[in-house]
A and B are shown apart, each in its own frame.
Chain A
Amino acid sequence: MWNWFHKLASPPHFYRLAGIFSPWMLWSSLILIAIGTYGGLVLAPADYQQGEGFRIIYVHVPSSYLSTMIYALMAVTSGIGLIWRIKLAHAVAASAAPIGASFTAVSLLTGMLWGKPMWGTYWEWDPRLTSELILLFIYFGYMSLRASFEDISKADRAGGLLAVVGVVNLPIIHYSVIWWSSLHQGPSIKKLDAPSISGDMLWPLLLLIAASTLFFGALLLYRVRAEVLDREHNSRWVQDLLGEMPGAG
């Protein structure tokens, strides 16, 4: 087990393996996304309360889910990188951050688009939207901190520490926001979720969540591959690799 782990963490091995897996993951995720989108936009009936507007959950829910999941992944890989000093783990965390920030932004945007017909305004200080906004700030903080270091191993360790501190804070922030909004004396806010969802609405949603996760996995592998090449550009195996490529060297 440990041996397998170490072999995977070796950059050339990972580079090769990721190169084999990533196209498969990308294409299968795209096909699944197409099926799910068809199911969600065409097959599923309109919601009796929210009408056609509810269909935005097929984008919103997967991206909200991924926005948190990716941060958790960053914290775990950063922890692994800090404790066992595995550079590849740091490379994964660094590559995941911009993807996570993008999903967070998509989740915010779709939430706002949904809000316009439902709340009559693009922005409502709803606890979920607020948490999502704070999460976006945290992603920006992580990326800016990394960018401020020239030395990549310092950026890895500083960013990793911040990711770990942040992941302890995220639940605290989330529950504070819920507590804070429960004190609001505003109009009762309808939450952006589907508590009693029918079967033909549900399966495209679940499929899309799975497909987006797969899509994220493929994107991550592509990004980590590029990151690994960049970090190891001085090493023998990258030089050999470049030598094999037509037109290089």
Chain B
Amino acid sequence: MTRLSAINLTLWRGPNCLFEELSFQVDAGSLLLVRGSNGSGKTTLLRVLSGLTRPETGHVEWCGESIEKTRQTFGAALAYFGHADGLKADLTVTHNLEFSAQLFGQSGEQIPGLLNALNLSQCAQLETRYLSAGQKRRTALARVLMSDAALWLLDEPVTNLDAAGREYVEDRLHAHVAGGGLAIAATHEDIRITSESPDEIFLGDGA
């Protein structure tokens, strides 16, 4: 059963409690939005769910097993779009994506199409140091979109995107979820993929 479960997660950062005894689960075919004001711990929660940050108490399970015990299986099922883009400034957009394709075990033939859809074709051969913040973000998104991972963890996926790019991402997200995928997105904007609004959790005092 494809399912991500957070079980009794508690995390303190200095004197601030970001979340306490937080439990939820995300099943195949659904999207969960993590909402909250700046500094409420959205990014940290995504990092905990990915296994990058260790919670003080509690744990995260993927398909019923703790992700710390099944790192390789979980890694193969995960596409992480983090706060940092994860691009090497000295390599071109295409080289960066080709390396990711190798990690995903793919040939990389869909890269040109993706770049086209994300309006990045003109900078395909440019080193990413010359890209604008928005273009870097989209390059990093391309990495998630080309993976065939079951679980997408997305940190602010539609920020810095124009209307067309945003629509494209929402479409792809819809297709991913409709195809039985899972997605969790931390966002301060609305993301709509169907007529009904997705599940949400709120962090911090923002409600």
Q: Spell out A's residues near B (CB within 8 Å).
A: 150-151, 153, 234
Contact = CB atoms under 8 A, between A and B. Distances in A.
B60 to A, nearest CB: 15
B39 interface: no
> How many B residues touch the partner, as a band?
under 10
Contacts of A153: 54, 56
B206 interface: no
Pick the 6 closest A-B CB pairs, nearest first.
Answer: A234-B15, A153-B56, A150-B14, A151-B14, A234-B12, A153-B54
Contacts of A150: 14
Describe B's contact surface by its main secondary structure. Answer: loop
A151 B11 CA distance: 12
A241 to B, nearest CB: 19
A158 to B, nearest CB: 13
A36 to B, nearest CB: 46
Contacts of A151: 14
B148 to A, nearest CB: 34
B14 to A, nearest CB: 8
A176 to B, nearest CB: 36
Contacts, number: 6
Interface in B48-92: 54, 56
A233 B79 CA distance: 38
6 contacts: A150-B14, A151-B14, A153-B54, A153-B56, A234-B12, A234-B15
Contacts of B12: 234
A153 B11 CA distance: 12
A132 to B, nearest CB: 37
A151 B12 CA distance: 10
Nearest to A234: B15
Nearest to A85: B54
A77 to B, nearest CB: 19
Contacts of A234: 12, 15
Nearest to B15: A234
A234 B10 CA distance: 14
Nearest to B56: A153
A135 to B, nearest CB: 31
A150 B13 CA distance: 10
A141 B56 CA distance: 27
Contacts of B15: 234
A153 B54 CA distance: 10
Interface string B1-23: 00000000000101100000000
Nearest to A154: B54
A151 B14 CA distance: 7
A156 to B, nearest CB: 11
A104 to B, nearest CB: 33
A43 B56 CA distance: 57
A193 B54 CA distance: 48
B22 to A, nearest CB: 18
A153 B14 CA distance: 11
A210 B14 CA distance: 41
A15 B12 CA distance: 23
Contacts of B54: 153
A153 B56 CA distance: 9
Interface string B127-146: 00000000000000000000
Contacts of B14: 150-151
